[in-house]
A and B are shown apart, each in its own frame.
Chain A
Amino acid sequence: MTQASTTAAAAALPRPPQWGIGRYDLAGRPVYFEVSWDDWQRDTAWARGMLAGHGVGAVKGDGELGGGLVIIGGMAESPWFDPFETAARELGAPYSIGEIYAFEAFRTGMYARRLPVTMIFGIDRTVAEGLGDELAEVVARVPVIVARPDAAGLLAAAGAAPFIVTRLGPAIAVECPHRSGAHVNGAEWTLTQAERGGEVLISTVGPRAHRVSQAATGLRGTLTEGRCGCGRTGQRVTITG
């Protein structure tokens, strides 16, 4: 079959260590960052734990519908979101992709309306606004919504109690069901706070291809240490602006 033959051909090729290159902005200047295949595998393992914590897993029942995800992220956000897509696949949960454009919001609404979606992951303000009157219907249908900070207010007004996912420079932070701030992967990153203004700064601690030290994220927030109700012990961040 085509899938099998092309996969075999691909496997015969030399593979560079880089999974891909991403970009984030720091004080209006672009920062390109390398993600290695090893980074990507560890990010995927962490994402698997975060999704599983929200109940994402194989759909139960023979022929019954239930348990799909819509993951909302643009192509350029793949260094942050691909690990969650891969994690959904590894957990056996069917997923669809929504784009972060207003004109593509209809697709997120369509998936939520037609499929038994139990989680929307990554919805931002653009898509939430783009859904218009359909937002309340989407919120009523989908039990778990993990939203970007800029969409949280809009979603709450529509009746949701969203969890938070946010990009932090080259990293990502995701809130667990215990709502005690968004977890970062402490094996890879550590957060500090700028003395003035409360801006969240990020440093690499894991064996990553991209290394930063006290890099500004452009986000203000409060940091929480100590054990979370989910059992994780790493840092959590609550974005305030």
Chain B
Amino acid sequence: MPDDRFFEPELETMPRAGIAALQEERILELVPYVYERSALVRKKWEEARVKPSDINSLADFTERVPFITKDDIRQFRDQARDPFGGLLCTGYADTTTVFSTSGTTGDATLYAHAWDRWHPFWAATARDLWEIGVRPGDYVLGSGFKMRGPLYHADQMCGAIPVLVNTGIGGWDAALDAIRRFRPVYAQLTGLALAELDHLSRSHDMRELFSSFKGAAFAGEPLGARARQQLRDWGVEVFVWTSTGDVTGAWECRQHDGCHAWEDCVLLEAVDPAGSAQVADGELGELVATSLDNPVTPMVRFRSDDIIRMTRQPCACGRTHARFWPVGRKGDETIVAGRCFVPMDIWRALEQVPQTSTALFQLVRPAREIDELKIRVGYDPDTTTSLPDLRDRVSEVIAAVVGVPPVLELLPEQELLTRGRGGKLPRLVKS
């Protein structure tokens, strides 16, 4: 039963020993289940000479069970002509929904759930919205994309009323009207939404508009320093969230000290990005996820390519589940003329130029090592008076950060936004 602070007090503040026991119980149920049913798991385990009988504890699982990568799933999908890449553990007839990953970093892969009342991907999110302060009878802006299913299920689980208006590209002017009218307490934001809100802030009193908000969530890509400050200036407490290897979400609490993974739902590991050893608490590692509550397409030691720092130290909010801080994507590092940089470096540079401060850009990177620093940059045509001048200023700030002068393709922001997918703009593109 929810209390003032926690949606599920006992589960959210469960002692670590209890979490470990619960995870071990679920893992020992999962092991024979997936070995029997998941064609990809069986293939990987047979290649690694691992049998279910070898796994008798959580420690056995994390030491012996082989990893699965997104490339493994895609390869199996293409070779076996299996749309689910060997992950489906039930009949297709037993699934309720089949959704897909965003597809921003390659071709999207499928995952499925069976459910009855609330979509499982968002079920645990009710805990996170409760923490933001969403309560029965509150209006919330039922925003975001639907490709992962009805996010408003989490709103409705908290007893809130979603105001379902268009918050996609070009929709925020109308959404502000809904905010004015219903005074919602929460909304979901993306980088593309912030770019639009930045423009609208010139003609709207954002502080007044957002004064009803208890918080807003942000996901999809890193939140730049300028955008974070802007939201602060508007009086919006922003809660960053991210995916735990496509299993479920992990959201910041009011302490804003890492994203809480719900470990009754996902077994989370941080492993050496170049190897297989677990890294120490707080060290950089690659997020590895195992589904504990999806019998349809469970991920089993899925290497997400997400680089994180993780801790299992209890949070000051009282929750005991693991927290992590997203750092970037494995392979994001790019080398040009012997110099190494990551997309966030470009982001920070563009934030310094008013006409490109929304940091909408794409790095054209056919390979990890490139000869030429080619960047597609979105600019605000309303405030740009001279493109040659803008080109010089953008070149200067990027060269200062990366150490190499860029080859720029300047595009009006709206034109660049059309290249977005699933609420975010792919930052690394091949062409």
Is B161 in contact with A21, judged by CB distance below 8 angstroms? yes
B11 CB to nearest chain A CB (Å)? 6
Nearest residue (CB) in A for B82 is: A114
| CA of A66 to CA of B95, assembled, Å | 12
Is B145 in contact with A99, judged by CB distance below 8 angstroms? yes
Binds B, one of A2-10, A42-50, A133-141, A233-241: A2-10
Binds B, one of A105-113, A150-158, A169-177, A184-192: A105-113
| CA of A137 to CA of B157, assembled, Å | 40
**Are A2 and B7 also in contact (CB < 8 A) when A107-B100, A107-B103, A116-B92 are?**
no
B422 CB to nearest chain A CB (Å)? 7
Binds A, one of B174-182, B268-276, B307-315: B174-182
> What is the size, in residues, of chain A's interface with B at 8 Å between Cβ atoms?
59
Residues of B within 8 A of A13 (CB): 2, 136, 157-159
Is B157 in contact with A6, judged by CB distance below 8 angstroms? yes
Nearest residue (CB) in B for A34 is: B161
Is A103 in contact with B120, judged by CB distance below 8 angstroms? no
Binds B, one of A68-76, A195-203, A210-218, A220-228: A68-76
Is A94 in contact with B112, judged by CB distance below 8 angstroms? yes
A80 CB to nearest chain B CB (Å)? 10
Is B137 in contact with A75, judged by CB distance below 8 angstroms? no
Is A6 in contact with B164, judged by CB distance below 8 angstroms? no
Is A21 in contact with B182, judged by CB distance below 8 angstroms? yes
| CA of A58 to CA of B92, assembled, Å | 10
Is B293 in contact with A2, judged by CB distance below 8 angstroms? yes
Asked whether any CB of chain A lies closer than 8 Å to the CB of B40, the reply is no
Asked whether any CB of chain B lies closer than 8 Å to the CB of A92, the reply is yes
| CA of A18 to CA of B244, assembled, Å | 32
Is A104 in contact with B137, judged by CB distance below 8 angstroms? no
Residues of B within 8 A of A77 (CB): 164
| CB under 8 Å from chain A, chain B span 122-153 | 123-124, 126-127, 136-137, 139, 142-147, 149-152
Residue among B98, B103, B163, B265 with the highest chain A CB neighbour number at 10 A: B98
| CA of A171 to CA of B177, assembled, Å | 22
Residues of A within 8 A of B108 (CB): 107, 110
Asked whether any CB of chain B lies closer than 8 Å to the CB of A231, the reply is no
Is A6 in contact with B118, judged by CB distance below 8 angstroms? yes
Asked whether any CB of chain A lies closer than 8 Å to the CB of B115, the reply is yes
For B71-99 the 0/1 string (1 means CB < 8 A from A) is 00000000000010000000111011111
Is B150 in contact with A82, judged by CB distance below 8 angstroms? yes
Asked whether any CB of chain B lies closer than 8 Å to the CB of A23, the reply is yes
Residue among A2, A67, A106, A111 with the highest chain B CB neighbour number at 10 A: A2
**Are A79 and B100 also in contact (CB < 8 A) when A3-B123, A14-B159 are?**
no
Is A101 in contact with B168, judged by CB distance below 8 angstroms? yes
| CA of A96 to CA of B181, assembled, Å | 32
For B164-193 the 0/1 string (1 means CB < 8 A from A) is 111111010010011001100000000000
| CA of A12 to CA of B1, assembled, Å | 6
**Are A99 and B159 also in contact (CB < 8 A) when A74-B168, A89-B96 are?**
no
Residues of A within 8 A of B123 (CB): 2-3, 6-7
Residues of B within 8 A of A76 (CB): 142, 164-168, 171
**Are A9 and B7 also in contact (CB < 8 A) when A2-B264, A94-B98 are?**
yes
Is A7 in contact with B159, judged by CB distance below 8 angstroms? no
Is A23 in contact with B99, judged by CB distance below 8 angstroms? no
Q: How large is the interface on B (under 10, 10 to 19, 20 to 34, 35 or more residues)?
A: 35 or more
Residues of B within 8 A of A101 (CB): 168-169
Residues of B within 8 A of A65 (CB): 92
Is B117 in contact with A97, judged by CB distance below 8 angstroms? no
Residues of B within 8 A of A6 (CB): 7-8, 118, 123-124, 126-127, 157
For B319-346 the 0/1 string (1 means CB < 8 A from A) is 0000000000000000000000000000
Is B164 in contact with A75, judged by CB distance below 8 angstroms? yes
Is A103 in contact with B421, judged by CB distance below 8 angstroms? yes
Residue among B1, B164, B166 with the highest chain A CB neighbour number at 10 A: B164
Residues of A within 8 A of B420 (CB): 103
| CB under 8 Å from chain B, chain A span 104-136 | 104, 106-107, 110-111, 114-116
For A1-32 the 0/1 string (1 means CB < 8 A from B) is 11101110110111110111111000000101
Is A95 in contact with B97, judged by CB distance below 8 angstroms? yes
| CA of A94 to CA of B94, assembled, Å | 8
B265 CB to nearest chain A CB (Å)? 4
Asked whether any CB of chain B lies closer than 8 Å to the CB of A219, the reply is no
Which of A3, A64, A78, A106 contacts B150, CB < 8 Å? A78
Which of B96, B166, B421 contacts A94, CB < 8 Å? B96
| CA of A154 to CA of B9, assembled, Å | 54
**Are A99 and B137 also in contact (CB < 8 A) when A9-B2, A23-B164, A58-B93 are?**
no
Closest 10 pairs (CB-CB, A-B): A59-B93, A10-B157, A114-B83, A2-B265, A76-B166, A6-B123, A21-B163, A13-B159, A94-B95, A2-B293
| Residues of chain B whose beta carbon lies under 8 Å from any beta carbon of chain A | 1-2, 7-8, 11, 83, 91-93, 95-100, 103, 107-108, 110, 112, 115-118, 120, 123-124, 126-127, 136-137, 139, 142-147, 149-152, 156-159, 161-169, 171, 174, 177-178, 181-182, 248, 262, 264-265, 292-293, 418-422
Known: A1-B264, A104-B421. 4 other contacts (CB 8 A): A9-B126, A59-B91, A101-B169, A103-B420
